[in-house]
A and B are shown apart, each in its own frame.
Chain A
Amino acid sequence: DQQVKQNSPSLSVQEGRISILNCDYTNSMFDYFLWYKKYPAEGPTFLISISSIKDKNEDGRFTVFLNKSAKHLSLHIVPSQPGDSAVYFCAARAAGNKLTFGGGTRVLVKP
């Protein structure tokens, strides 16, 4: 049973527009959430994170929103650029260092 789910396997967006990636979780013990970005033939790289005590964290073009009551988080990329085309993984942490990952969303930004 997947505790972290990304229900959209793919997303296509025009350059300059907003990309919104969604992630749902079931474990209320998760206290930290992260987004990773992965290009083909490379390992995932950390993008942005948010603690469960916050509802928003922003870093340049990337903003993560957390709705604890709905057990939902989202990643907004504004404006989207062709170099943002990649697979994005949502991850959540409970106790210790273990991360639980979602299935990933493939983003394609069209020029």
Chain B
Amino acid sequence: DVKVTQSSRYLVKRTGEKVFLECVQDMDHENMFWYRQDPGLGLRLIYFSYDVKMKEKGDIPEGYSVSREKKERFSLILESASTNQTSMYLCASSLPAQGSDTQYFGPGTRLTVL
């Protein structure tokens, strides 16, 4: 059974702080993704990675960066948190594109920036 874990379920930070969100998957998946979920907007892709040390921008990368030093771990970094980054952050992983292309999601981190 695929397991994707995220370091925190709830996080409260102040404007301007540097924030790290960690994601770990245990199924040796090559692909990992970071999304944010906001009401009415669904899930929007921030960054993704096809392999270690590789990263690609998603649809809304501004204000974020990522790090993938190990295959199982994908970190999302908010260099200087702002109130408009208050959101639910979801990490996902998957195998390389195949027919079913299922992404497996972690439980999410609800981040509040004050």
Residues of chain A touching chain B, judged by Cβ–Cβ distance below 8 Å, are 4, 6, 9, 32, 34, 36, 41-46, 49, 51, 89, 91, 93, 96-104
CB neighbours (8 Å) of A89 from chain B are 42-43
Residues of A within 8 A of B107 (CB): 41-43
Cross-chain contact A97 with B97 (CB below 8 angstroms): yes
**Is there an interface contact between A96 and B97, defined as CB atoms closer than 8 Å?**
yes
B 42-56 contacts with A by CB, 8 A: 42-45, 48, 50
CA distance A46 to B96 in the complex (A): 16
Most chain A CB within a 10 A radius of its CB, from B43, B44, B94:
B43
**Contact across chains for A101 and B102 when beta carbons are under 8 A apart:** no
Q: Does A46 lie within 8 Å of B97, measured CB to CB?
A: no
Q: Does B102 lie within 8 Å of A41, measured CB to CB?
A: no
Chain B: how many interface residues by the 8 Å CB criterion? 30
* Residue contacts A-B, CB under 8 angstroms, 14 given: A4-B42, A6-B42, A42-B107, A89-B42, A97-B31, A97-B48, A98-B45, A98-B48, A99-B101, A100-B59, A101-B42, A101-B44, A104-B40, A104-B42
Question: Per-position contact with A for B31-69: 1 when CB-CB < 8 Å, else 0?
Answer: 101010000111111001010000000110000000000
B70 to chain A, nearest CB (A): 19
Contacting A101 at CB < 8 Å: which of B43, B94, B96? B43
Q: Which of chain B's residues have a CB closer than 8 A to the CB of A104?
A: 40, 42
Residues in B neighbouring A36, C-beta threshold 8 A: 105
- Residue in B closest to A89 when the chains form the complex, CB atoms: B42
Complex Cα gap A103–B39 (Å): 7
Minimum C-beta distance from A86 to chain B (A): 13
Q: Judge whether B94 and A97 touch: CB under 8 Å.
A: yes
Q: Which residues of B are found within 8 Å of A6, using beta-carbon distances?
A: 42
Contacts of B96 on A, CB cut-off 8 Å?
97
- Interchain nearest-CB distance for B60 vs A (Å): 12
Tell which of B31, B40, B101 touches A93, judged by Cβ atoms closer than 8 Å.
B101
Residues in A neighbouring B48, C-beta threshold 8 A: 97-98
Evaluate contact between B43 and A45: CB separation under 8 angstroms.
no
